[in-house]
Amino acid sequence: MKTLKNSLIVALILLAFTASVNAQSKGNGNITRQDRQVAAFDAIEVGCAINLFLSQGETQSVSVEADENLQEKINTKVSNGLLSLSCDNVRNATKMNIYVTITKLTKLEANGAAVVKGTTPINTDQTSIISSGAAKINLELKSRSIYTEVSGASKNHLQIEADIVNSEVSGAANLKIIGLAKEHKTNVSGAGSLKAVEFVTDNTNAEVSGAGNASVMARKQLKADLSGAGSITYFDNSNMKKIGKAGEYQFSFNGMDKVKSVSVDEDKDASEGTEEDTIVSRTDDNGNVEIKLRNNKIVVVTDDSVTVKLGNNTIEVDDDGDVKLKHNKKQKFNGHWKGLELGVNGFLTPNNDFDYASEYSLLDQKYQKSINVNLNFFEQDINLIKNHLGLVTGLGLSWNNYRFDNDVRLTKGSDKLYLSRDTNNYSFEKSKLVNTYLTLPLMLEFQTNPYSKLNSMHVSAGVVGGWRIGTHAKYVYNDGSRQKDKDHSDFYMNPFKLDAIAKIGWGVINVYATYSLTPMFQKNKGPELYPFSVGICLTDLTDL
């Protein structure tokens, strides 16, 4: 009966998905522009695949440029001063541009596949710039105080002139900031990336965890808190220096008070190449070609086309004396472990439901913000049957971010874990529990086409062992000013875990699911819960 029930649920979901796709409208190619009359607003939320062109002027305006038959499906509504830009069942729009002129901007939030581009500088006293999903924001801002949050796979490029800037980067998001500020406080986690070495500040406070990385600049003082596998790069007079070891650091700088801007060519090392990958050729008076590959020299006569094999390299010389170098890769079984994985995670009871005991009912989660990030950095493959079937193992780092739906605090008592609501009358932004694991998989993988990693279906299943190397609870609230508390207790969690894992995909795109075979907490010390995760993974492209 339970199997039949689950099958019916899956069938209904597939039916609803098919109906939703069929109900989507396609643009007819007849582009029109429509001015919309809306109430006064000073905040904007944009989603779908909308392109928002934002400017500042003396009078607010909203104009929609899209296919004629899609105009009525593009929503521009104002509620409590918030302009919401969204769409209903739109597919393959020829254009979906919205032009907005604001007089004041207190908040901008972009999600989905939205793209926001500022066409004029934005001047405001205080503002928040938030992006998630695959959204992109490109703005020039001048403000007294700016808060920016970038999550998911979103990308923001901000040119800023401000007194105080607070930034948060999480997931696989990217944030680049250039400009000037007095104070900059940043938190980078997951596999997030902050590029702010061209953001000239007086004082910077940077906290980096997980596999995050940050490049920053401070004229007077830099405070850095580094944990996990992250790194911090900073500008010191004319040099770039890097911190790669966990710990707390504080640096004071002299002689940089007059610095107004910094420009760094961050791709310089990548463009220089190495001598080992170069080939040099020269044609003499007799028509012979002299080839130097690494430390080896070969002279080839070019009356006819010639092919020379040297180790795993092939050198081809045509009738004109032109030389081409090819690297010959030995065919081998190539699994799908190494790469970046992003998903959602949670925990189930022994009955595989979310019906937590009353003592632990506060563990309900916000699943849209309960993010799992896996950085699998090493892979070892063993061929079993003609490169179609093989074993996959390796190493990785996993971050499980459990975002609670309540303003709950976790307390490690003398006998067990206790949960409680915060008794202070604070405005809570977040309450979450974060685990970090060093992981080791053992999977059996089948591939339909072992000769191509791009054009092959693959299925794998197995187990992943995990050693918990870090745990903390984080609480963010407002008691008149924005506060962050961290509790680095282990909360009676088991030091090791064993997950069942399954993957399926085509090419470099995979979906994965895990379910823990071991409980999250020690016996009789906390609730009996079994973590799970579901998401997508991008296989390492260097093996293609």
Q: Domain check: are 301 and 347 in the same one? A: no
Instruction: Single out the residue in 251, 268, 285 at which a domain terminates.
Output: 268
pLDDT tens-place string over residues 55-83: 999 999 999 999 999 999 999 999 999 99
- Give me the mean pLDDT over the 23-27 stretch: 68
| Best CA proximity match to 40, nearest among 100, 98, 99 | 100
| Best CA proximity match to 374, nearest among 529, 534, 207, 187 | 534
Phi, psi of 72 (to 5 degrees): -70, -15
pLDDT tens-place string over residues 405-426: 888 999 999 999 999 887 777 8
Q: Domain check: are 359 and 497 in the same one? A: yes
Instruction: Single out the residue in 90, 120, 150 at which a domain terminates.
Output: 120
pLDDT confidence band for 447 (50 / 70 / 90): very high
- Cα dihedral 238/242/248/252 (nearest 10): 0
> How many domains are contained in the chain?
4
pLDDT score, position 479: 84
Q: Are 431 and 408 in contact (CB under 8 A)?
A: yes
User: Does residue 288 surpass a pLDDT of 70?
Assistant: no
CATH of the domain at 78: 2.160.20.120
For residue 131, being part of any structural domain is answered with no
User: Does residue 260 surpass a pLDDT of 80?
Assistant: no
For residue 332, being part of any structural domain is answered with no
Q: Domain check: are 199 and 300 in the same one? A: no
Q: Domain check: are 281 and 167 in the same one? A: no
Q: Domain check: are 345 and 442 in the same one? A: yes
For residue 373, being part of any structural domain is answered with yes
How far apart are the C-alpha atoms of 251 and 239, rounded to whole Å?
A: 14
- Tell me the residue range of the domain where 489 lies: 339-543
pLDDT score, position 543: 54
Q: Domain check: are 107 and 192 in the same one? A: no
How far apart are the C-alpha atoms of 43 and 108, rounded to whole Å?
A: 6
For residue 382, being part of any structural domain is answered with yes
Q: Domain check: are 419 and 279 in the same one? A: no
User: Does residue 269 surpass a pLDDT of 50?
Assistant: no
Q: Considering the chain, what is the average pLDDT of its residues?
A: 84
Classify residue 423 by burial, with Cβ atoms within 10 Å: 0-12, 13-18, 19+. Answer: exposed
Contacts of 138 (CB under 8 A, 6+ apart): 116, 117, 118, 156, 157, 158
For residue 377, being part of any structural domain is answered with yes
User: Does residue 264 surpass a pLDDT of 90?
Assistant: no
Q: Are 349 and 356 in contact (CB under 8 A)?
A: yes
How far apart are the C-alpha atoms of 142 and 179, rounded to whole Å?
A: 10
Element (H, E) at 101: strand 96-102
pLDDT tens-place string over residues 318-365: 555 565 666 655 567 888 899 999 999 999 999 999 888 888 888 889
For residue 127, being part of any structural domain is answered with no
User: Does residue 105 surpass a pLDDT of 80?
Assistant: yes
Q: Domain check: are 437 and 538 in the same one? A: yes
Q: Domain check: are 387 and 521 in the same one? A: yes
Contacts of 490 (CB under 8 A, 6+ apart): 412, 468, 471
Instruction: Single out the residue in 59, 89, 120 at which a domain terminates.
Output: 120
For residue 15, being part of any structural domain is answered with no
How many percent of the chain have pLDDT more than 70? Answer: 80
Q: Domain check: are 168 and 76 in the same one? A: no
How far apart are the C-alpha atoms of 415 and 536, rounded to whole Å?
A: 39
Q: Domain check: are 178 and 319 in the same one? A: no
pLDDT score, position 294: 47
For residue 9, being part of any structural domain is answered with no
Q: Domain check: are 323 and 239 in the same one? A: no
